[in-house]
Amino acid sequence: MADTAARYDFVIAANRLPVDRVVGEDGQVEWHRSPGGLVTAMESVMSGRDGVWVGWAGEPGEAPEPFDEAGMRLHPVPLSEDEIQGYYEGFSNDTLWPIYHDVIVPAQFHRKWWHQYREVNERFAKTLAEVAEEGATVWVHDYQLQLVPAFLRQLRPDLRIGWFDHIPFPPVELFGQLPWRQGILEGLLGADFLGFQRPGDAENFLRACRRYLGMTVKGDVIHVGKATGGHDVRAAAVPISVDFSSMDELSRRPEIKKRAKEIRESLGNPSALLLGIDRLDYTKGIRHRLKAYEELLKDGSLDGADTTFIQIATPSRERIDAYIDLREHVEGAVGRINGNYSAIGSPAMEYLHQGYGREELAALFLAADVMVVTPLRDGMNLVAKEYISCRHDNGGALLLSEFTGAAEELREAFMVNPHDVIGLKRTIMDAINSSPQERSRRMKALRRRVRRNDVQHWASAFLDALEAAPHKPSRHGPQ
């Protein structure tokens, strides 16, 4: 049977497919599974089901034919170079991303980007409508695809449609800035269930529906009138997590422990090793943590010859101005800190603008005394949970911004407001100076929580909520 005729009863839609295209030395194209918990979680929900993942393959132009990789069927959606600039870099990452992250940098509004966003969302919906079996479950991911639920419901009212928001949903005062706020809300309301990272995000969404669509909300359910589909939509928090057991297992391997030791030795065995691992993004608060660290070195609280801060900053969105500016700022600060405070063989900072494999990340987590997570706003922050998963020794201290989704669960972390530089400096010192007993007490509690609420738990909770969500009130009645 030709693939265009193939139908699946479980369909995932995300901006990107879970693979990266790699051209081997012999010129052969290979697809490598992308790292990260989402793929692992989706693999586990796909196993035993007849599933397909719909998304962009990462290269402009015509899409490759559907293929199998990472244990699933992958169905590419094409994007032109112009659409990558308008739908993805433009509307998704230069309009929505800043609005949804507290307008840390100003959002750019361009009508052309909005039209491209609509067109690409419609294309995704059409593809989904083609590959979904009668009555299938469709799980749409993230802010790039907020119009897909309504486009898809129009084409295929028989489907059960869920959407999960990986990033925050902004308060109405910020969301209201969007010239296309009504269109976004109507797009989302095509779903049966909308999942958010925090209860506060779901509340922000419900409030926006009341304010900008004049809708009535009962508890966490909105009734969408006949004119726009006539069904009920539930919005609730289902916080994402990590694959605890696989990170735990990985970090117990002798070669990872050996590598962790090597990392410390290569830095001159500092008394305190601090670590930051982030995409190089202005939401992550990298500038704020470097400012605090530099001041601690300057005022003599820390000795640069005996302390090292490793900052791994994965390249991200490198054609957008705000990211270009951030990179310049961070690299300037790193150069200044090292110039002023390093000793030969004992760097005050180690900065790496590169991606790493899971093994190296696990070794870094195991090596670090203090994990520094200081976002100004973050949907969840998986790095914090990965650090916890790797600390089977119950060692290490997690310093965590209260503006992450993770802060709602990870109460035993050393909490900080990254805007408060004095508080940030004090908490860094508290974390560095905390006793092994205190670290162990905190880490044990954190590990219990992440072990229980892991990524598989998240995926089942989302799918259960989607299954149970109010669907067609005429038949089942609103819940």
Alpha helices in 267-398 (DSSP H): 286-298, 321-341, 358-367, 382-390
Q: Which of 6, 36, 123, 155 binds ligand ADQ (CB under 6 A)?
A: 36
Task: Identify which range of 5-13, 170-178, 186-194, 376-384 contacts ligand ADQ by CB under 6 A.
Answer: 376-384
Binding-residue pattern over the window 97 to 136 for ligand ADQ, x denoting contact by CB under 6 A: ----------------------------------------
| Chain CA centroid to CA 195, Å | 14
The smaller minimum CB distance to ligand ADQ, of residues 209 and 380, is found at 380
Q: Under a CB-based contact definition with an 8 Å cutoff, are residues 289 and 276 in contact?
A: yes
Strand pairing report for 217-218 and 193-196: unpaired
Q: Which of 105, 209, 277, 399 binds ligand ADQ (CB under 6 A)?
A: 277
| Dihedral sign of CA atoms 63, 65, 66, 70 in order | negative
In the complex, least distance from residue 387 CB atom to ligand ADQ, rounded to whole angstroms:
9
Under the criterion CB under 6 A, does residue 320 sit at the interface with ligand ADQ? no
Under the criterion CB under 6 A, does residue 200 sit at the interface with ligand ADQ? no
Q: State the greatest distance between any 2 C-alpha atoms of the chain, in Å, as a whole number.
A: 74
How many C-beta neighbours within 10 Å does residue 103 have? 14
Alpha helices in 77-110 (DSSP H): 81-83, 97-100
Task: Tell me the number of residues near ligand ADQ by CB under 6 A.
Answer: 19
Q: Which of 17, 79, 167, 446 binds ligand ADQ (CB under 6 A)?
A: 167
In the complex, least distance from residue 411 CB atom to ligand ADQ, rounded to whole angstroms:
18
Task: Identify which range of 22-30, 144-152, 377-385, 451-459 contacts ligand ADQ by CB under 6 A.
Answer: 377-385
Under the criterion CB under 6 A, does residue 473 sit at the interface with ligand ADQ? no
DSSP for 29-53 reads EEEEEPPSHHHHHHHHHHTTS-EEE
Name the amino acid, one letter, at 194. L
Task: Identify which range of 145-153, 372-380, 418-426, 446-454 contacts ligand ADQ by CB under 6 A.
Answer: 372-380
Under the criterion CB under 6 A, does residue 166 sit at the interface with ligand ADQ? yes
Q: Under a CB-based contact definition with an 8 Å cutoff, are residues 169 and 237 in contact?
A: no
Q: Which of 223, 346, 356, 426 binds ligand ADQ (CB under 6 A)?
A: 356
First to last CA, the chain: 41
Residues 136 and 139: their CA atoms lie apart, in Å, by 10
In the complex, least distance from residue 384 CB atom to ligand ADQ, rounded to whole angstroms:
8
Query: Beta-strand (E) ranges in 48-203?
Result: 51-56, 67-69, 72-76, 132-141, 160-164, 193-196
Under the criterion CB under 6 A, does residue 251 sit at the interface with ligand ADQ? no
In the complex, least distance from residue 165 CB atom to ligand ADQ, rounded to whole angstroms:
9
Name the amino acid, one letter, at 131. V
Q: Which residues contact 411 (CB under 8 A, 6 or more apart)?
A: none
Under the criterion CB under 6 A, does residue 353 sit at the interface with ligand ADQ? no
Residues 270 and 255: their CA atoms lie apart, in Å, by 21
The smaller minimum CB distance to ligand ADQ, of residues 175 and 462, is found at 462
Q: Pick from 177, 386, 433, 363: which is nearest to 278 by CA?
A: 386
Under the criterion CB under 6 A, does residue 461 sit at the interface with ligand ADQ? no
CA angle 54, 59, 60 (to 5 degrees): 100
Task: Identify which range of 75-83, 265-273, 379-387, 457-465 contacts ligand ADQ by CB under 6 A.
Answer: 379-387
Strand pairing report for 51-56 and 8-16: parallel
The smaller minimum CB distance to ligand ADQ, of residues 283 and 308, is found at 283
The residues annotated as belonging to the active site are: 166, 378
Under the criterion CB under 6 A, does residue 165 sit at the interface with ligand ADQ? no
Under the criterion CB under 6 A, does residue 314 sit at the interface with ligand ADQ? yes
Task: Identify which range of 85-93, 171-179, 324-332, 378-386 contacts ligand ADQ by CB under 6 A.
Answer: 378-386
Name the amino acid, one letter, at 16. R
Please, which residues bridge with residue 141 across strands?
Answer: 164
Please, which residues bridge with residue 234 across strands?
Answer: 193, 221
Under the criterion CB under 6 A, does residue 383 sit at the interface with ligand ADQ? yes
The two three-digit tokens of residue 90, written as one number: 């433009």
Q: Which of 39, 54, 209, 240 binds ligand ADQ (CB under 6 A)?
A: 240
Residues 277 and 225: their CA atoms lie apart, in Å, by 45
Task: Identify which range of 174-182, 213-221, 382-390, 415-423 contacts ligand ADQ by CB under 6 A.
Answer: 382-390
Under the criterion CB under 6 A, does residue 382 sit at the interface with ligand ADQ? yes
The two three-digit tokens of residue 270, written as one number: 């500092």
In the complex, least distance from residue 38 CB atom to ligand ADQ, rounded to whole angstroms:
7
Under the criterion CB under 6 A, does residue 355 sit at the interface with ligand ADQ? yes
Residues binding ligand ADQ (CB under 6 A): 35-36, 166-167, 240, 277, 279, 312, 314, 355-356, 361, 378-383, 386
